[in-house]
C-alpha cells in the first residue's frame, strides 16, 4: 500500500479516550496519514451506579448498547481498519458482524488476560486486623477477576491481528487459536514524557530522594518502602489502591490517603526525583512496565525490580539500576544517593538508550502501521455493507 493509499484509509479507534495512553496511540495513527474516527466506551457508561456496575462486571443493557452502537458506527463509516484497545466490552459475535463492513479488525490489550486474575491472588488483598473488610474485598475482587477476561479471551481467535506488550502472551494467545500475534512493547509519549524545567513550587510539591508511582499490589513493595524509610530515605508515594494497606509508619510518612498523579504533574514528579522506583505488576505477570520507558524518557534514573527483559533493554548499572529484594534495594539507593555523579551518568545514559532505541509511541505505532498496511495489501479494497 502506498503512502497515498494510507492517507485515504480510515480507522475507527475504539477505546476509552479519557486515558493519555490511548490518546497518544490515536495521535500517532493520525500522524501516519490515517483518517481516525473514534468510538469512546465512556459515552455509553452513564453516571448512575447501576450502569457503572454493569460496566465494571460486564453484563446487562450497557454491554448490549455498546456492541450495537459499535456495529452501527462501522456500518456507517465502512473503515479499512477497526482498532480495538482493551476490548473487554466487545462480544465475539460483534467482531464477526463488523468484519462485514471493514477490511481488518485488530486488538491491542495492555493487560494480561492470562495473569494472576484468580481467587488465590484475590485472597492476598486481605487487610490485617479487619476480617469483615478483608472478606468483602476478596469477594469483590474474585468476582471482578472472574468476569473481567472471560469474554475477551473468547474474542482473541476472532481478531485478524492481536498486538500484545508481553513476550509471554504470544504463546498463550496462539494456544487458544489466535490468528496472528505481534509483540508491541510499552512506550513513552515524547510530548508528555520529557525533561521539564521545575519551579520551586514543583520541587516542594514533588521533590524526593526516591519516588514510587503505581497502584498497590500485595507483593513486597510495602516491605521495600518500609526498609527505605527505616534507612532514613526521603520518599514520595503516589498511586491508587493503597489506603487500606498503609501501616502506621506509612501513614505517618505519606498521610492517610495516597493520591495518583497524571499528565504534567506525573512528568514533574519524575523530573523532581533523584531515583524513581519501579515494581513489576505481579497481577499481569509483568517483566517490564510502561514506566520503564517513561522514567528514562524524562531523564530520571530508573531503579527497578530485576528481570531478564529489562537487562536486555537497559544495561545494568550503566543505563538503569536493578534490585531483587529489600536489602539490595536499600544498598543500591544508599550508593546512588552518595554518588550524584554516578547517578546522573546512569540517568543520562538511560535517556540516550531509551530515545535512540525508538521506544516512543510514534516508533511503536509505526511497527503496528507497517504490519497493518502489509496485511491490507493482501485483502480486497472494498467491504460489503
Residue written as grid cell 505488576: 281
pLDDT value of residue 208? 97
The sign of the torsion formed by the CA atoms of 155, 156, 158, 164 equals: positive
Q: Are residues 369 and 244 in the same domain?
A: no
Q: Are residues 176 and 27 in the same domain?
A: yes
Please provide residue 45's backbone torsions phi and psi, each rounded to the nearest 5 degrees. -115, 100
Residue 193 lies in a domain: no
Q: Are residues 139 and 232 in the same domain?
A: no
Residue 11 lies in a domain: yes
CA angle 297-363-39, nearest 5°?
100
Query: Which domain range does residue 275 map to?
Result: 200-356
In angstroms, the CA 379 to CA 11 distance is: 16
Q: Are residues 216 and 340 in the same domain?
A: yes
Q: Are residues 123 and 211 in the same domain?
A: no
- The one-digit pLDDT tens for each residue of the chain (385 residues) are 344 344 459 999 999 888 899 999 999 999 999 999 999 998 988 778 999 999 999 999 999 999 999 999 999 999 999 999 999 999 999 999 999 999 999 999 999 999 999 999 999 999 988 999 999 999 999 999 999 999 999 999 999 999 999 999 999 999 999 999 999 999 999 999 999 999 999 999 999 999 999 999 999 999 999 999 999 999 999 999 999 999 999 999 999 999 999 999 999 999 999 999 999 999 999 999 999 999 999 999 999 999 999 999 999 999 999 999 999 999 999 999 999 999 999 999 999 999 999 999 999 999 999 999 999 999 887 655 4
Can you give the CATH number for the domain in which 88 is found? 3.40.50.2000
pLDDT value of residue 148? 96
Residue 385 lies in a domain: no
Q: Are residues 55 and 155 in the same domain?
A: yes
Q: Are residues 216 and 253 in the same domain?
A: yes
In angstroms, the CA 94 to CA 87 distance is: 11
Q: Are residues 309 and 220 in the same domain?
A: yes
Structural domain count of the chain: 2
Residue 383 lies in a domain: no
CB atoms within 10 A of CB 221: 22
Residue 192 lies in a domain: no
Q: Are residues 171 and 26 in the same domain?
A: yes
Residue 384 lies in a domain: no
Q: Are residues 366 and 352 in the same domain?
A: no
Q: Are residues 343 and 236 in the same domain?
A: yes
Amino acid at each position: 500500500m502506498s503512502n497515498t493509499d494510507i492517507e485515504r484509509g480510515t480507522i475507527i479507534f475504539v477505546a476509552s479516550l479519557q486515558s493519555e495512553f490511548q490518546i497518544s496511540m490515536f495521535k500517532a495513527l493520525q500522524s501516519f496519514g490515517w483518517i481516525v474516527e473514534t468510538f469512546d466506551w465512556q459515552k455509553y457508561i452513564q453516571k448512575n451506579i447501576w450502569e457503572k456496575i454493569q460496566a465494571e462486571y460486564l453484563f446487562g443493557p450497557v454491554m448490549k448498547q455498546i456492541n450495537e452502537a459499535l456495529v452501527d458506527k462501522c456500518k456507517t463509516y465502512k473503515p479499512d481498519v477497526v482498532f480495538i484497545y482493551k476490548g473487554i466490552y466487545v462480544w465475539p459475535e460483534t467482531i464477526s458482524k463488523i468484519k462485514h463492513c471493514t477490511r481488518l479488525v485488530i486488538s491491542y490489550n495492555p493487560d494480561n488476560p492470562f495473569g494472576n486474575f484468580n481467587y488465590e491472588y484475590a485472597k492476598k488483598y486481605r487487610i490485617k486486623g479487619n476480617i469483615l473488610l478483608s472478606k468483602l474485598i476478596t469477594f469483590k475482587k474474585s468476582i471482578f477477576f472472574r468476569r473481567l477476561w472471560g469474554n475477551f479471551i473468547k474474542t482473541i481467535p476472532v481478531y485478524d491481528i492481536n498486538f500484545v506488550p508481553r513476550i509471554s502472551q504470544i504463546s498463550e494467545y496462539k494456544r487458544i487459536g489466535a490468528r496472528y500475534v505481534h509483540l508491541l512493547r510499552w512506550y513513552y509519549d515524547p510530548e508528555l514524557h520529557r525533561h521539564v524545567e521545575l519551579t520551586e513550587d514543583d520541587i516542594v510539591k514533588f521533590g524526593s530522594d526516591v519516588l514510587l508511582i503505581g497502584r498497590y499490589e500485595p507483593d513486597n513493595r510495602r516491605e521495600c518502602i518500609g526498609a527505605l524509610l527505616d534507612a532514613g530515605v526521603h520518599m514520595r508515594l503516589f498511586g491508587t489502591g493503597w489506603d487500606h494497606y498503609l501501616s502506621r509508619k506509612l501513614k505517618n510518612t505519606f498521610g492517610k490517603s495516597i493520591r495518583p498523579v497524571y499528565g504534567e504533574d506525573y512528568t514533574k514528579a519524575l523530573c523532581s526525583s533523584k531515583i524513581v522506583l519501579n515494581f513489576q505488576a505481579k497481577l499481569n505477570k509483568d517483566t517490564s512496565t510502561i514506566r520503564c520507558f517513561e522514567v528514562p524518557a524524562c531523564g530520571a534514573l530508573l531503579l527497578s525490580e530485576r528481570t531478564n527483559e529489562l537487562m536486555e533493554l537497559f544495561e545494568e548499572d550503566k543505563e538503569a539500576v536493578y534490585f531483587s529484594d529489600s536489602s539490595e534495594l536499600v544498598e543500591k539507593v544508599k550508593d546512588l544517593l552518595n554518588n550524584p555523579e554516578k547517578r546522573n551518568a546512569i540517568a543520562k545514559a538511560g535517556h540516550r538508550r531509551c530515545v535512540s532505541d525508538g521506544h516512543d509511541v510514534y516508533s511503536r505505532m509505526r511497527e503496528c502501521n507497517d504490519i497493518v498496511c502489509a496485511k491490507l495489501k493482501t485483502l480486497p479494497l472494498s467491504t460489503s455493507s
